[in-house]
């Protein structure tokens, strides 16, 4: 593998979704030199695939308020939402909407010029802004145009961040892999905005790039992670043999779509009074239970109560994609079953996006700032990604760029070798089976043994091997975290511990490398991962 000389930038942003690109634009507008790295192209991100929209309380929401939005967020989070952080993010939602509109995002509007607001599961008011059913794509297109037109932003596409560089306890850059060449970029600030982890699981709504790279490299660099047991499975992803798990937006249930079993009967009311508009964890488990009871591989989502004209007008992307796989939502129900969708866990940060590793920030789905708790409220992800990008931009501009920028770095002596799964398909299948919607001690033990044994150490020569190594590492950490939380809460369901236990587990789990190294080979205890943050750590506003 060729090794090249180092490059320098003021701020290195790894990831090109809403969080990474909006941060780059904000910093560039203040004449800060930014390098943004994308594993594929700028448009390849979870943001680009987001259908439903962005949850926010806008000025014309006369029946809504930030307090109600916070109430819904905390309720969905099942007792683990950091309410102080959530209040900050929700309060700044209207500012984010204004900023995105100024940058060219075309949200849908009513005939009177007010924002068209959709109702989604877990929300007590319509508050989800959207652009048809391709909201994320509209956001991504606008931000890509802004990024490409800026003289202060250098774009590195088809480039993977392999590891972070830490000198004297400070993050000073990253090793990048580009066409099998290892390069070094030093930076005054490094920001991870690499998205989620869905590709760890056999069924996922996430694009191929969602392999948890940022979380894995932060972990290897020594940053503290949190809430890794909380993986949200979207209740309604298309189920057709050979077809991808295409997401059927929560917005269709808000518009009147209903879930039915193999006999055509609605079943959600026997699981929750909110029926199809219950939070995602409740709906996903209800679907799973119904599938198990009736020995079916799916249930069905019937959009016909919405009305054909409204379906075609409001959800054209869903109609087109389903029809391409032989299902016509205008005339028949869609076969659906849950798929891994969103990761509430990730790199611990405070309210300014700062991690426990100096000069390293994390924003978006790879971060765990405390907004989502044990279960994300629908459409709060784009809200978090955008608001946290604006907060990190303000924080960096206020505190300045470290003089560490001048440090000379080289790519020599880097050990480019990792453990990989022996068989990636078997790995994903095992993760979906044992760390998916329903978990128990026996299954998690079997999973962890499998993940420990079915590995091979290889010299990394390309992106695919790096991704596989990162997924294996996160799979092991998710298994450890799920094993430690012996209760059921939000998106984490333990069939052997079906009750929520606030006395023992009413707090977030934090985990650092040294802690896991001490735990390996030792018996698990309920408090194995209940670790404290550094003394004196507080929320920064």
Domain boundaries, the chain: 2-228+342-406, 234-338, 417-519
Q: Is 285 part of the annotated catalytic residue set?
A: no
**Right CATH number for 234-338 from 3.90.700.10, 3.40.50.300, 2.70.98.60, 4.10.520.10?**
3.90.700.10
Class of domain 2-228+342-406: alpha beta
Q: Rounded CA gap, 303 and 308, in Å?
A: 8
How high is the pLDDT of residue 401? Answer: 85
Looking at residue 43, what is its pLDDT? 84
Write the DSSP symbol of residue 401. Answer: -
The whole-angstrom separation of Cα 78 and Cα 493 is: 12
In this prediction, residue 93 carries a pLDDT of 98
Q: 417-519 domain in CATH 1.20.58.100? A: yes
Contacting residues for 419 by C-beta, under 8 A, at least 6 apart: 455, 456, 457, 469, 472, 473
Nearest to 103 by CA among 141, 152, 132, 129: 141
Cα distance between residue 147 and residue 154, in whole Å = 9
pLDDT along the chain (541 residues), means of 10: 72 97 98 96 82 91 96 97 97 98 96 92 95 92 97 96 93 88 91 97 95 97 95 96 93 95 97 94 95 96 97 95 97 97 96 95 97 96 98 96 59 71 96 96 94 86 90 94 95 97 93 64 45 36 27
- The Cα–Cα gap between 334 and 327 comes to 7
The rounded distance, in Å, linking the Cα atoms of 346 and 349 is: 9
261 token code pair: 């079993």
> What's the alpha-carbon Rg for the chain, to the nearest Å?
22
Catalytic: which of 280, 314, 439, 489?
A: 280
Which DSSP letter does residue 256 get?
Answer: T
The DSSP element (H or E) to which 58 belongs, if any, is: none
Predicted confidence at residue 515, as pLDDT, reads 61
Do residues 42 and 83 touch, judged by C-beta distance below 8 A?
Answer: no
The domains spanning 234-338 and 417-519 adopt the same CATH topology: no
Return the residue matching tokens 């390098």.
35
Predicted local distance difference test score (pLDDT) of residue 526: 42
pLDDT in the model for residue 116: 94
> What CA–CA distance (Å, rounded) separates 38 from 160?
7
């Amino acid at each position: 593998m060729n090794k090249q000389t180092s490059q320098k930038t003021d701020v290195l942003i790894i990831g090109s979704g809403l969080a990474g690109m909006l941060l780059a634009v904000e910093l560039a507008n203040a004449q800060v030199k930014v390098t943004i790295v994308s594993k594929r192209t700028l448009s390849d991100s979870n943001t680009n695939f987001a259908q439903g929209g962005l949850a926010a309380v806008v000025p014309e929401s006369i029946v809504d308020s930030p307090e109600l939005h916070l109430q819904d967020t905390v309720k969905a989070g099942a007792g683990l939402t950091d309410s102080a952080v959530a209040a900050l993010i929700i309060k700044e939602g209207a500012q984010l909407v204004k900023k995105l509109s100024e940058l060219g995002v075309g949200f849908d509007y009513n005939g009177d010029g007010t924002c068209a607001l959709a109702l989604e599961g877990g929300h007590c008011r319509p508050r989800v802004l959207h652009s048809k059913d391709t909201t994320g794509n509209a956001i991504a297109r606008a931000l890509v145009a802004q990024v490409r037109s800026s003289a202060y932003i250098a774009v590195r596409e088809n480039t993977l961040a392999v590891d972070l560089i830490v000198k004297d306890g400070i993050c000073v850059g990253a090793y990048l892999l580009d066409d099998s060449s290892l390069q070094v970029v030093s930076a005054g600030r490094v920001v991870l905005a690499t998205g989620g982890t869905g590709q760890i699981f056999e069924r996922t709504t996430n694009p191929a790039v969602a392999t948890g790279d940022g979380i894995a490299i932060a972990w290897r660099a020594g940053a503290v992670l949190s809430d890794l047991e909380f993986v949200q499975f979207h209740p309604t992803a298309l189920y057709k043999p050979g077809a991808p798990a295409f997401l059927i937006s929560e917005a269709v249930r808000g518009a009147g779509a209903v879930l039915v079993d193999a006999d055509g009967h609605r079943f959600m009311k026997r699981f929750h009074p909110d029926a199809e508009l219950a939070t995602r964890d409740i709906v996903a488990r209800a679907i799973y239970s119904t599938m198990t009871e009736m020995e079916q591989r799916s249930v069905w989502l019937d959009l016909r109560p919405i009305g054909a004209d409204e379906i075609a007008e409001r959800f054209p992307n869903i109609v087109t994609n389903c029809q391409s796989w032989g299902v016509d939502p205008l005339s028949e129900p869609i076969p659906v079953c849950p798929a891994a969708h969103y990761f509430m866990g990730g790199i611990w940060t405070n309210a300014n996006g700062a991690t426990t590793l100096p000069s390293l920030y994390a924003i978006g789905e790879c971060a765990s700032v405390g907004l989502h708790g044990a279960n994300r409220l629908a459409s709060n992800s784009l809200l978090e990604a955008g608001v946290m990008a604006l907060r990190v931009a303000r924080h960096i501009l206020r505190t300045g760029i470290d003089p560490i920028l001048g440090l000379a770095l080289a790519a020599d002596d880097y050990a480019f070798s990792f453990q990989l799964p022996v068989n990636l398909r078997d790995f994903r299948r095992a993760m979906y089976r044992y760390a998916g919607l329903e978990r128990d001690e026996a299954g998690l033990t079997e999973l962890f043994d499998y993940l420990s044994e079915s590995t091979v150490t290889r010299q990394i020569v390309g992106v695919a091997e790096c991704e596989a190594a990162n997924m294996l590492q996160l799979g092991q950490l998710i298994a450890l975290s799920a094993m430690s939380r012996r209760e059921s809460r939000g998106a984490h369901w333990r069939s052997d511990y079906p009750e929520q236990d606030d006395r023992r587990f009413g707090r977030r789990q934090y985990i650092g490398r040294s802690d896991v190294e001490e735990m390996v080979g030792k018996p698990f205890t309920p408090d194995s991962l209940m670790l404290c943050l550094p003394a004196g750590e507080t929320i920064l506003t």
